[in-house]
Amino acid sequence: MSTSRTITPSAAASGSFTLGGDLKVHRLGFGAMRITGQGIWGEPRDREESINVLKTALDLGITLIDTADSYGPDVSENIIAEALYPYPKDLVIATKAGLRRPGPGRWEPDCRPAHLRAAVEGSLKRLRLERIDLLQLHTVDPKLPYAEQVGALVELQHEGKIRHIGVSNVDLAELKQARQLATVVTVQNMYNLTDRESEDVLEYCTRENIGFIPWFPLATGDLTEAGTPLDKIAHRVRATPAQVALAWLLARSPVMLPIPGTSSVKHLKENIAAAGVPLSEDDVEALEA
């Protein structure tokens, strides 16, 4: 496509959502996984550009940044603190715990209470925080009861180290179990135009007013081929397919909180501009067909 949407980007255009009844954020956030090195491992190739991306995100209205101790590992959290501390009062930094990184591109569940406690303590130190606004259990560890995993976060919450709890990569039964143990304010699952396996989880979150954070939100696959609804809509509204995919997510549910990530200021601006892409009801239906 030769042109892309060039409206003045503002995350505010996507509307807002209140996490846990007290943390109001713009619905289009920023995922800080890509500000690390290749394979989400080690330092980024251009650390200064990663810092510029974070600062630009705030300048453009982003109020929700999602990261994890496993991104780097530790690198993403360190760069966030370097770039943005002291943080604006309206900025919510959500991080995650529960995965170990044996090497580049490798992820292993570890949701033992002792590991989760150490991970949270580490995140507090790296992010220079006294309390984490939103701590998400990064996965479901099959090696131990889920109640122990969620319960460890509840204990840390009672100690004042976590403000709100979220879960990630859960099915509907696991989400309901987590809610019996804690007040769950967000769910972070894979969800995009080509992968809607978590449709039942999203519908539940919409009914219960739980924030739904879709990871891998820009996947479009063959949908970008000439003549497809995505291709036709993108041309008509003068946007990129990725911008239309993000606009569709925002239109899909009022609890949807996309967090597209990038290590490029240019791509960041394109992503945020998606909040202003106009989609009609017919557009949304065509994309969902």
- End-to-end Cα, the chain, rounded Å: 23
For residue 191, indicate whether it is catalytic: no
Task: Indicate the DSSP class of residue 241.
Answer: H
Phi, psi (deg, nearest 5) at residue 177: -65, -45
- List 71, 85, 191, 204, catalytic entry: 71
Beta-sheet strands, E only, within 89-225: 92-97, 99-100, 108-109, 132-137, 162-168, 184-190, 211-215
Beta-sheet strands, E only, within 46-148: 64-66, 92-97, 99-100, 108-109, 132-137
Using DSSP, state whether 137 is helix, strand or coil.
strand
Name the strand (E) or helix (H) holding 207: helix 199-208
Paired sense of beta strands 99-100 and 108-109, if any: antiparallel
The catalytic residues are 71
